[in-house]
Amino acid sequence: MNIMMSVLHGLVLGGAYGLIALGLSLIFGVIRIVNFAHGAFLATSAYLYYVLFSSYGVDPFLGMILVVPIFFISGFLLQKVLIRPLLLRENASVLEPTSVMLFTIGLDYAMANLLLMIFTSKYRTVNSWSYSNYLRLFNATFVTQWSRVISIILAFVVAGILSLIMHRTELGKRIQAVSQNRDAAALCGVDVHTTYGIAFGLGSAAVAIAGACMASFYLVSPSVGNVFGTKSFMIVVLGGLGSLPGALLGGFIFGLIESVGAQFMTSSMANLLSFAVFLIVLVVKPEGLLGKKK
């Protein structure tokens, strides 16, 4: 029974991990750059939800109505104003322009230290309804916060919406065309950098949704971005760079390894085991579990 409960907890935790990784996977799949500021975006959104809750009593899941559009616009403008000139300068000379990589690394440090200056290193909690109430199943042998349950539901909802956009809309066709060959897409009349901006905005909006989940069941601090940002990179690579289903699959694998492994070893050893699985997959199948060979 303990193993079954650990599996259920692992699936719930994995849903949250997958939700964080979705935005990162989308951005790489389209623009072909790794956003090293992804963790800082997550921490910033979590603090926005904390401010909304502590100052105005707004539940994080309700606060998404305000925060998610802000992050979409911010991501769009970030790409159009700051990243676009870097991409134009290097003009697709490499798969991942070095200047963009360095820019996102610097942005990550800047945002993390700004949060540290404003909020200090003190841990904050968002004691909302979903944080303080629990779902109890199997005669209360399985108990978890409602915020975690909502997180796994949101992971599938966000993945479904993004997949619907990518495969069923005109915007999705443009995004796919740009991700496959941006020069050919430009010759067909597609505004490449506006499409990039939309993709970056969607990825930023996805991480803002993940921030609502993190703020609802995890301690909010400037370092939260480092913890989950690094893990999201590993999850995206494990599932396959640019693959939305792969991001969810990688999240569930990490969640299951950490939760079930903790029954037989310490938590730090379980984390080490998930890293070992990541390395093995990287060696055996470099494109990831659901990634496509180039």
Q: What is the pLDDT of residues 227-242, one digit of tens each?
A: 888 888 889 889 887 7
Tokens of 50: 């904390």
Return the higher-pLDDT residue of 183 and 42.
42
| Whether the Cβ atoms of residue 123 and residue 221 lie closer than 8 Å to each other | yes
Work out the angle at residue 18's Cα, subtended by the Cα atoms of residues 254 and 288, and round it to the nearest 5 degrees: 65
Task: Look at residue 294 in the predicted model and tell me its pLDDT.
Answer: 57
| E strand or H helix at 166 | helix 146-168
> Would you state the pLDDT for residue 94?
47
**Among all chains, which residue has been given the structure tokens 């289903």?**
245
Residue 107 predicted with pLDDT over 60: yes
Contact 3, 264 (CB under 8 A): no
Beta strand segments in the chain, E: 134-137, 142-145
Could you tell me the two tokens for 103? 């820019």
Quote the pTM value.
0.90
Q: How far is the C-alpha of 193 from the C-alpha of 293, rounded, in Å? A: 25
* Mean pLDDT (whole number) for 94-111: 80
Tokens 């969810």, residue? 248
Whole-number pLDDT of residue 287: 84
Alpha-carbon gap, residue 49 to 181, rounded angstroms: 38
Who wins on pLDDT, 145 or 106?
106
| Cα separation, 280 vs 239, whole angstroms | 13
DSSP assignment of 170-214, as one string? Answer: HHHHHHHHHHH-HHHHHHTT--HHHHHHHHHHHHHHHHHHHHHHH
Query: What CA–CA distance (Å, rounded) separates 166 from 179?
Result: 11
pLDDT band (50, 70, 90) for residue 201: very high
Torsion of CA 261, 264, 268, 273, to 10 degrees: -50
Classify residue 125 as exposed, middle or buried by CB count within 10 Å of its CB (0-12, 13-18, 19+): middle
Residue 217 CB coordination number (10 Å): 23
Distance CA 92, CA 290 (A): 25
The continuous run of DSSP H or E covering 228 comes out as: helix 224-239
Residue 103, CA atoms < 13 Å, CB-side half-sphere: 17
Q: What is the mean pLDDT of the chain?
A: 86
pLDDT exceeds 50 at position 74: yes
- The whole-angstrom distance between residue 287's C-alpha and the CA centroid of its chain comes to 19
Q: Examine the pLDDT at 16 and tell me if it is beyond 80.
A: yes
